[in-house]
Amino acid sequence: MTIYHGTRTALMLGDLIAPNPAAPDENARYVFLTETLDEAIWESELAPGDSPGRVYVVEPVGAVESATNVPGRAVVKHPAMSLCSREPLRVVGEVIDWLLYHGTRADLKPGDLIKPGHTPNYGNRARTTTYVYFSRTLDAATWGAELAEGDAAGRIYIVEAIGPIEDDPNVTNKRFRGNPTKSFRSPGALRVVADRGLAGACARSAQGHEGPPCPVEGTGCRAARLNSAPPGYQR
C-alpha cells in the first residue's frame, strides 16, 4: 500500500514530517497522510507558501487514524488527506512521474488522437473547441466523462499531450487557490495511451466519496446538468 503526503515543503529521502504536540492549533498536533493520490495533490496545491506543490511517498512511524477525528477536519469541502497520525512520517520517495487523464463518452483505443476543432462535449455546441482538456487528477477527468453528451458510459483514458500544456485558466485561482484539480489544456492533440476504465469506478478509486467539488464558485454544477458544466472541466 502506498501512502502519500502533499505539501509545498522541499524534503529529502529520510526526512521526518513531524507534528507539533504543543501547538495551540489542534490540526498542527497531527501530520496528515492518505492512500489516495488525488487527496495529496489537492493538499499540496492548497498548502501555504509559494514553492511548487509536491507529493511525497511516506511511511508512518506510529499509529494512524481517520482524520475525521480531528476537530474541523470532517467539514473540509474539498478532497483532503483523510488519515492522520500523532507520530512523524518518514519520506521514502517523491511522486515525479505523473499520468494524464481525459474523461469522455467516446469509444477510443490506444493510438487514437483527441484533437481540438470539434463540437464540444457539452455547453455551447454552436462553437468549436480550440483546446483539448485533460488533468492529472481522476477527479477532474471523472467530471469530464460524466458531463459529456451522449448515452455511452463515461470512460477515463490515460493520454499524452503532443502540443504545449498550460493550466486551465477557467479553474486556476478561481474558487480555490492555484490549480488543485491539476486541470490543463493544450491547443495540440492528445494521444490515447490506455483505457483507465469506467468513470464511476475511477471516481471511487480516486477519492472514496461521492464526487469532487466544482472548482468554480456559484455554478451549482451537477453531473446531470450537461449544458451548464463547470468551466474548465474537460470539454
> What is d(CA 23, CA 3) in angstroms, rounded to the nearest whole number?
25
> What is d(CA 204, CA 100) in angstroms, rounded to the nearest whole number?
18
CA 7 from chain center: how many Å? 14
> What is d(CA 159, CA 33) in angstroms, rounded to the nearest whole number?
28
Q: What is the pLDDT of residues 209-225, one digit of tens each?
A: 334 444 433 333 333 22
Per-residue pLDDT, 213: 45
What backbone torsions phi and psi does residue 186 show, to the nearest 5 degrees? -150, 140
Q: What domains appear along the chain, each with residue ranges and CATH number?
A: 4-94 (3.20.170.40), 100-228 (3.20.170.40)
Per-residue pLDDT, 201: 56
- What nine digits make up the cell of 176? 480555490
Higher per-residue confidence, 8 vs 204: 8
Q: Whole-model pTM? A: 0.79
What is the average per-residue pLDDT within 184-207? Answer: 79
Q: How far apart are the first and last CA of the chain?
A: 34
pLDDT band, residue 229 (cuts 50/70/90): very low
Coil, helix or strand at residue 135: strand
Element at 203 (helix H, strand E): helix 199-207
Q: What is the dihedral of CA 144, 148, 153, 155, to 10 degrees?
A: -30
> What is d(CA 142, CA 209) in angstroms, rounded to the nearest whole number?
13
- What nine digits make up the cell of 188? 495540440
47 residue type, one letter: A
